[in-house]
């Protein structure tokens, strides 16, 4: 008898990744990927096309499949199951003003934290519904169903319009209208966000519950959001905090009880196992290094070599890396800025070092928010594209002040989805135990004062630019955008 195999899909912002694993051992047997279009709004069909391309010749032969997808994205469908417009992605900040309106309308941040464990920001689905209702009311009127990206792909795998849409508690917890504490939709908040409209929502499945089968008979598991998928793929435990350095950055940990942070910094999400996943997100992570390399006209490997030539702290040169606005701190209209320019710091090596340190100081600020909410930090697991750099791990241990574990460079979101598929296939009470995959362990440096000094310089630059108070960092006014011919 052949061993059972499972497929895990990571439908991320940039691409679709597929891994095929042995269901019992987690051994990765095959991998494939296909790109997604750029932009902050994308036709859902493009995700399906990428999944079909990446999964061609692979998905037909597995026993079970699960999809983990980018969180928050708004997929609005009409009564026939057709998208009424391109999906608005998590990183589309046009709904920032809608978030402010919704917070005020419910009675403030604490009311939202009590209701759904999170205070909505521009990323959340409920704010995108408000934007759609106010700016495209005809399309809002046509909207009969709301899905998230992973819901849409799971639905398409099972046959599309003729089947009931499903989701899971991990992804549902990022909408702003589902309560992790009560494990139920808040349709009053859905109606608040969508100006009285209450379209159909997917049924929320239990973590190991199957959504159904593909037309060819492959079991389809519940699926989940990308961060919950990564947590499942890593098998995190108590004291483990994951710092993911993709295009955006996330910091999250597993918790036994739901959280409700009225500051809005910590999102009170659910995970893919029945527990909870307090999470802090930044808009800027690995992209900071990519843009720094472009500015200097070098490859990423050369950027790392340059950064290694500068001393820790880059002699006071500080990059605030808010290149695409920022979510934490909540600065949707901010831009990046460089501080501490002097003759001795105006060097490519110092700028390169400031890019690495700025990215990681921003993630350290996010980590501090989790600590402030009671999360114990025994070690940091560093994942994502930028985690493959040895210098990133070295600086991370210095700035975070805790040991850093760098798992092998594997697609952990897709691996977590595969593990969930194996769980649903087995019918067991707990997910299968798959081995940890560690590539490097970086201890806390012997001179912790260096990391503290880097953080202090970074926070001083924040204060100089935005001002700091007990309420956080003030949000600058939006800048007027220039019209560019051919792009409007």
The span from the CA of 218 to the CA of 203, in Å, is 20
Q: What angle do CA 156, 162, 167 make, to 5 degrees?
A: 50
Do 178 and 167 touch, CB atoms closer than 8 A?
Answer: no
What does the CA dihedral 396, 399, 401, 404 come to, rounded to 10 degrees?
Answer: 0
DSSP string, 100-141: HHHHHHHTSHHHHHHHHSS---TTSHHHHHHHHHHH-HHHHH
Scored b (16 or more CB within 10 A) or e, 368-381 reads: bbbeebebebebbb
Q: Which of 226, 240, 261, 271 is catalytic?
A: 226
Asked if 391 and 304 count as a contact pair (C-beta separation under 8 A), the reply is: yes
What is the rounded CA–CA span in Å between residue 18 and residue 29?
A: 11
* DSSP string covering 283-346: S-SHHHHHHHHHHHT--HHHHHHHHHHSPTTGGG-EEE--BTBBTTTTBTT---EEE---GGG-
Residue 77: HSE in the Cβ half-sphere, 13 Å Cα cutoff: 22
Phi/psi zone of residue 431: left (φ > 0), alpha (ψ -120 to 50 degrees), beta?
beta
- Catalytic, 240? Answer no
The end-to-end CA distance of the chain, in Å, is 59
* Length of the chain in terms of residues written: 488
* Residue 183: C-alpha distances to residues 205, 274, 351 (Å): 10, 10, 47
Which has the closest alpha carbon to 233: 68, 72, 393?
68
Decide if 316 contacts 342 (C-beta within 8 A).
yes
Cβ–Cβ under 8 Å, residues 24 and 4? yes
Distance CA 383, CA 388 (A): 8
The residue behind tokens 């409700």 is 260
**CA–CA dist 483, 462 (Å, integer):** 30
Annotated active-site positions, please? 226
């Amino acid at each position: 008898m052949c061993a059972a195999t499972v497929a895990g899909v990571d439908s991320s912002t940039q691409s679709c990744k597929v891994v095929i694993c042995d269901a019992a051992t987690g051994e990765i047997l095959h991998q494939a990927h296909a790109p997604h279009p750029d932009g902050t709004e994308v036709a859902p069909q493009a995700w399906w096309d990428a999944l079909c391309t990446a999964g061609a010749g692979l998905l037909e032969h597995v026993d079970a499949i699960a999809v983990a997808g980018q969180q928050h994205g708004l997929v609005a469908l009409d009564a026939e199951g057709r998208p009424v417009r391109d999906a608005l992605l998590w990183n589309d900040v046009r709904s920032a003003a809608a978030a402010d309106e919704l917070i005020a309308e419910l009675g403030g941040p604490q009311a939202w934290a009590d209701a759904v464990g999170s205070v909505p920001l521009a990323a959340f689905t409920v704010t995108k519904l408000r934007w759609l209702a106010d700016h495209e009311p005809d399309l809002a009127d046509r909207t009969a169903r709301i899905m998230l990206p992973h819901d849409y792909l799971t639905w398409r795998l099972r046959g599309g319009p003729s089947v009931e849409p499903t989701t899971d508690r991990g992804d549902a917890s990022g909408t702003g209208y589902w309560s992790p504490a009560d494990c139920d939709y808040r349709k009053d908040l859905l109606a608040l966000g969508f100006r009285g409209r209450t379209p159909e929502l997917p049924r929320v499945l239990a973590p190991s519950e199957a959504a159904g089968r593909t037309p060819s008979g492959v079991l389809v598991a519940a699926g989940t959001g990308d961060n919950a998928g990564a947590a499942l793929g890593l098998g995190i435990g108590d004291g483990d905090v994951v710092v993911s350095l993709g295009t955006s950055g996330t910091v999250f940990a597993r918790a036994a009880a739901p959280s409700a942070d009225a500051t809005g910094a910590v999102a009170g999400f659910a995970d893919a196992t029945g527990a909870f996943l307090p999470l802090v997100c930044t808009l800027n992570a690995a992209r900071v290094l990519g843009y720094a390399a472009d500015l200097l006209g070098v490859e990423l490997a050369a950027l790392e070599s340059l950064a290694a030539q500068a001393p820790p702290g880059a002699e006071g040169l500080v990059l605030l890396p808010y290149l695409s606005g920022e979510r934490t701190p909540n600065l949707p209209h901010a831009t990046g800025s460089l501080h501490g320019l002097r003759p001795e710091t105006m060097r490519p090596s110092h700028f390169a070092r400031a890019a690495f340190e700025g990215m990681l100081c921003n993630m350290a600020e996010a980590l501090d928010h989790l600590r402030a909410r009671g999360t114990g930090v025994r070690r940091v697991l560093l994942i994502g594209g930028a985690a493959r750099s040895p210098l990133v791990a070295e600086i991370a241990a210095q700035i975070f002040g805790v040991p850093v574990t760098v798992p092998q460079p594997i697609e952990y979101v897709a691996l977590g989805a595969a593990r969930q598929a194996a769980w649903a296939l087995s019918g067991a009470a707990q997910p299968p135990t798959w081995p940890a995959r560690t590539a490097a362990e970086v201890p806390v440096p012997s001179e912790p004062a260096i990391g503290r000094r880097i953080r202090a310089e970074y926070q001083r630059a924040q204060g100089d630019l935005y001002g700091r108070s007990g309420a956080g960092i003030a949000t600058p006014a939006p800048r007027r955008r220039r019209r560019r011919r051919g792009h409007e």
